[in-house]
Amino acid sequence: MSTPEVTVIDYGVGNLLKALDDLVIADNTYVFFMSDNGGRGLMPGGGKSRLPPNHPLSGAKGSLLEGGIRVPFFIRGPGVRPASYCHVPVVGYDLLPTFYDLAGGKKPLPSDVDGGNIRPLFANPDKGIVKRPLDSLIFHHPSKLMSAIRQDDHKLFVIWDKSGKIKSRALHNVQSDPAEKQNLSASDPRLADKLQKILVDHLAKVDPDKPTKKEK
């Protein structure tokens, strides 16, 4: 059973799409629908007999585990094949370069703009390539003492201590193991080291907030 909030969104999105059809502008209008983070960790009325809200993913809103960052993302518009789906990882900061291209932008964007244009995935969801300044997706949550980096099918999840040093790390193949149950950092330390270096170097370059646990 859906919640009232989900029902309202469902009807609202349906009315929007219908309005575009009625106005005969659906053929030249893009609609992007996505969530800003994963679902809640707890649901009202939940009990031990119920599966976690984000099952089979681990974690929830506020976490950098898959349950906190893997979200629904739908696109309707010119060049997007109906009922097609794509497994190429994309991220919210890909939207700016994508919208710029869809709006007819021709000049190169500034070099410090993160993300890449996902338009090539519209027509080729299986083989399209997203070109980004950094060939990885970076997530950083300093107040929760965690960071993550996704490259191809693998993701390195890092926990920091309060001094800014890495306390622990876990390497997962999130394509075959979306629940992140198997830590591959011991069996594939070279890949773990490679991803850790990319993550640490990038954070040093952009100088984000340092990992500091907020006091309650």
Is the pLDDT reported for residue 111 higher than 80? yes
DSSP 124: -
**Interval 121-174: pLDDT, tens:** 998 998 889 999 999 999 999 999 999 999 999 999 999 999 889 999 999 999
DSSP 203: H
Q: Taking a C-beta distance cutoff of 8 angstroms, is the pair 137, 91 a contact?
A: yes
Helix extents (H) in the chain: 4-22, 66-69, 95-102, 120-123, 189-206
1 band by pLDDT with thresholds 50, 70 and 90:
very low
Q: Distance from CA of residue 204 to its chain's centroid? A: 22
- The pTM (predicted TM-score) of the whole model is 0.86
CA proximity to 31, closest of 115, 95, 125, 104: 95
Give the amino acid at 137. Answer: L
**Interval 167-192: pLDDT, tens:** 999 999 999 999 999 999 999 999 99
28, two tokens: 């030249």
